Structure 1
Amino acid sequence: MKRDGYDLVTSTDSSEAQRAFENAVLGLATHRPNTGLAVQATLAADSHHVAGHALKGFANLILARSELGATAASALNDARDALSVKAGGTTDERVLVTALDAAVEGGFSHAADILDDGFENRPTTFLPFKISQALRFMLGDAAGMLKASTRAVKDLDTGSRAAGFLLGCHAFSLEEHGRYSEALVAGQRAVALQPDDSWGLHAVSHVFEMCGDTGEGIDWLEGSRTAWSRCNNFSFHMAWHLGLLHLERGDDDRVLQIYDDEVRPQQTDDFRDMANAVSLLWRMEQSGVHVGDRWMDVADVAYRRRTDTTLIFAALHNLAAMVAVGEREGAAELVAQIDAKALGMDDQARIAAEIGVPMARVLAGLDAPADRRMIDRMVANLPKIGGSNAQRDFFVLALAKAVGAGGDDAAVSQIGRIRQQLKADDRLFKTIERTVGTRLPA
């Protein structure tokens, strides 16, 4: 039995496996591209490394691709077998496997609860903490994220390996609650402790964006480029933030350059990369920027994913891409798939029913909200889609555009007032307001 450098107690007797697994956890924390290789090295050194199998399972689920569900289930079986070989394993390992079981069944919220409760007395044990944060992020559960991160940073040992990473997560959770001053302090402290904490860097960039501090945001991202440019595809997302800041400043040519070179340098179908591309292209078009044929590759990916509703957040971005190029049949098929998803029983089925179905119909141009109460309900339910406030702002803007197209200037103003509770007024929303001849009061 060994306690690793991030406080997880495992049943491995292999020092090589422990070192490899610590590298995997560090890769997870820093969003480095070598994380998968480190997990492979862990399992090569100890084929019954329970936590290694569990991490593999969670990693495949978090990719939110329908075809990877079987891979995650296989990892769960391997983790269970490893527990048997290790005479039941450690308490830490059993918690991880129980949580993975819940997640494989579609219960991300339940899985996160299992992780948080299972490590209630050791909330700084980094792997279960980070996995729980990731699952709650995908569910838009900012309250759950903040509850866990607040517990983790209380009486934090700043000399521990995970200290900076824990603070970075806390900074992001604060930011998602609109507690921007606190988030800024926590994020900057996180990066001071751990300069490679890309999530902490990311949290601070969110603060600048939501507050409308474009110059400071650009300086922050450019000044930390050495750190985040070494990330895996998370670097594309950091570049997305940079693009948004330049778009707000009207630097159209620079935004197009960032899109081509840093946001969409590879034609991947990772849902996070797609969300970056779709939402930035949409914003550019609404801002009057000519994007040429840039929609075509994302629409092609979206069409291939038109039956995948593993994650409603991803499905809605795919839908928007197909709508952008006039792919009506593919869009109609995906809307029908989201309707069908809403009849299920797992977390994403509930999300589909509560917000996925009505938002899909808005994006597809099939319906606009019938009345103000429906608008209020949709905006209130948007966090359930998952992602961050900045990412979901795409849906807020699309909703405003949809009701504005129907000439409902009062509804656009209503959406704007709700939006201003978290985000400073910006050029794009003003453009949408002008299309219906309305303006929010100062």
Structure 2
Amino acid sequence: MHSNWRDCKAWLDNGLPINTTCNEAAKLYDASLTQYVGKYNDMNVGGLEKSMEDTLRADPNFVMGHVIKNGLNLLGTGTSIQFDNKLATDVDTMVRLCFNQQGLSDREKMHVNAVKLWSVGKMARACDIWEDILLDNPSDILALKFAHDTYFYLGYSNHMKDSLGRVLPQWKKDTPLYGYLYGMYAFGLEETNLYPEAEKFARMGLEINEKDVWSTHCIAHVMEMTGRHDEGIKFMSGTENNWAASGMLCCHNYWHWALYLIEQGDYSGALGIYDEYVYKTSKSTGAPLHFVDACSLLLRLNMEGVRLEGRWNDCYEVIRPHVDDHVLTFNDNHILLACLGANKIETVKRMMTSIKESVVKCTGDLANITKEVGLPICEAFVAYNDGDYAKAVDLMYPIRYQVWKIGGSNAQRDIYNIFLINAALKSNKQKHRRLARVLLMERRSAKPCSPLTDRLIQRTLAIHTG
């Protein structure tokens, strides 16, 4: 675990001067940055949240301390300046300090501008600015990681890949945090279907640091997308001690493990992971990163015909504070699933109304994505829950090639493909049942080794011959 934090001179020597004379603030900023990039909490500094707070206690006027704190609050997608007055004030304070400080570099000013744009929904424009920073400062891993994560939210897979492809050759191996670039590049490669290359770079990252949870996560994706479920289970169980302590991503890695089990039809095993890790983490943190995994697993198990007992109600209690947030369309889709699963009809009505109102009132990338894709998906979920499977198909099928816009990974978005097939199988229209058959052919062509697909094909045959 890295602990040789950089002071003001070290930042200058690395070509990334920061506008503070407080060495304690500089070191705590480095500690915060390292934990963010590495996706872990270092309790030697009290964890990521505390180290960010302590950075600003050491120097309340340290602009980059405000940048990383506000940026991570926004990228966490659990809050927004539209309804969080403190966050709005914090962003305003960051901007004011930027304008009032002498000696602030253009790079630091650009960081402030990017976070400000993100806060008002202009996520793609924020990424443009971070890429501009990287043109002259390729070792600025905060710009690189902020852009990488935002591309993920926007579904910009090629951007994720190419951003790292431009930067990685310019880094020296002794540059702090160098090893983490391999996992980031690997993820971009995986999301653009370059699976052998992705696995190669992810394993290079793990050779440098076996606890690199992002590289582990990327290999989990590769094995999911290539149908290597037995190998995936063996890999996750064999490396569990290396990644399970990562407070930020361990829940999601367990989610991947559960996907392998669902593919194999091991529903009790998948429920065990859900109960012991995914739900418990979601309940403990209340973070969108965690509760979307919980909702996703429950829907997948539900569509497999698994009895979930009171799990939807428990999940609903986790997401309930976020029903009216509308920070990300991807989050909204999963929050709605919990409302539907728990049969909270009035909450569903309220949520659908507020989503439609937010599309009218809000501007920026997310409002457009919600209008074009997010709202039809939500309407399809409601129709399916009401038993109107034909309507669900008619809503989902025309936008199936636009779903990438809501962000997330290919593996996460696969739930929409499975949902469409299930809706088509249940529809009373013969056309939809034919559609289900050809979608399953398409699915098998893309991923020949999928027991889940085989089970759905058997259901199709039963309907056809019944």
TM over 0.5: yes
Partners of 1:318 and 1:297 in 2: CA distance? 13
Match of 1:252 among 255, 267, 288: 267
Aligned to 2:290: 273
Determine whether 1:29 maps to 2:37. yes
Task: Pick closer, same or farther for the CA change 1:370–1:297 going to 2, 3 Å.
Answer: closer
Task: List aligned pairs for 1:113-132, cutoff 5 A.
Answer: 113-132=128-147
Determine whether 1:318 maps to 2:335. yes
Task: Pick closer, same or farther for the CA change 1:373–1:260 going to 2, 3 Å.
Answer: closer
Match of 2:59 among 26, 41, 46: 46
Structure 1, unpaired ranges of 5+:
none
Cα RMSD after superposing both structures? 2.5
Match of 1:400 among 388, 411, 421: 421
Partners of 2:422 and 2:238 in 1: CA distance? 35
Task: Pick closer, same or farther for the CA change 1:223–1:159 going to 2, 3 Å.
Answer: farther
Match of 2:453 among 387, 411, 429: 429
Task: Pick closer, same or farther for the CA change 1:303–1:415 going to 2, 3 Å.
Answer: farther
Match of 2:190 among 175, 183, 191: 175
Aligned to 2:69: 56
Partners of 1:427 and 1:322 in 2: CA distance? 29
Match of 2:408 among 353, 369, 387: 387
Instruction: Report the AA paired with residue 339 of structure 2.
Output: M
Alpha-carbon distance, 1:15 to partner: 1.4
Task: Pick closer, same or farther for the CA change 1:280–1:10 going to 2, 3 Å.
Answer: same
Aligned to 2:437: 413
* SS of alignment partner, residue 364 of structure 1: helix
1:377-408 per-residue CA deviation (whole Å, 9 max, x = no partner) reads 41211111111111111122112212222151
Task: Pick closer, same or farther for the CA change 1:421–1:40 going to 2, 3 Å.
Answer: farther
TM-score w.r.t. length of structure 2: 0.87
Determine whether 1:348 maps to 2:363. no
Partners of 1:6 and 1:261 in 2: CA distance? 43
1:293-314 per-residue CA deviation (whole Å, 9 max, x = no partner) reads 1111112333443222111111
Task: Pick closer, same or farther for the CA change 1:167–1:436 going to 2, 3 Å.
Answer: same
Alpha-carbon distance, 1:421 to partner: 6.9
Task: Pick closer, same or farther for the CA change 1:6–1:429 going to 2, 3 Å.
Answer: farther
Match of 2:228 among 190, 213, 221: 213
Aligned to 1:14: 22
Match of 2:317 among 276, 280, 300: 300
Task: Pick closer, same or farther for the CA change 1:222–1:124 going to 2, 3 Å.
Answer: farther
Match of 2:97 among 72, 82, 93: 82
* SS of alignment partner, residue 195 of structure 1: coil
Greater mean deviation of Cα atoms: 277-286 or 156-165: 156-165
Q: Which has the higher helix share?
A: 2
Over the matched positions of the two proteins, sequence identity in percent amounts to: 25
Q: Is the 8 A contact 1:279 1:394 kept in 2?
A: yes
Greater mean deviation of Cα atoms: 30-39 or 95-104: 30-39
1:214-261 per-residue CA deviation (whole Å, 9 max, x = no partner) reads 122122222222222111242111111111112222333322221111
Structure 2, unpaired ranges of 5+:
1-7, 42-46
Aligned to 2:107: 92
Task: Pick closer, same or farther for the CA change 1:391–1:371 going to 2, 3 Å.
Answer: closer
Q: Is the 8 A contact 2:390 2:424 kept in 1?
A: yes
* SS of alignment partner, residue 210 of structure 2: coil
Partners of 1:299 and 1:63 in 2: CA distance? 20
Instruction: Report the AA paired with residue 80 of structure 1.
Output: V
* SS of alignment partner, residue 354 of structure 1: helix
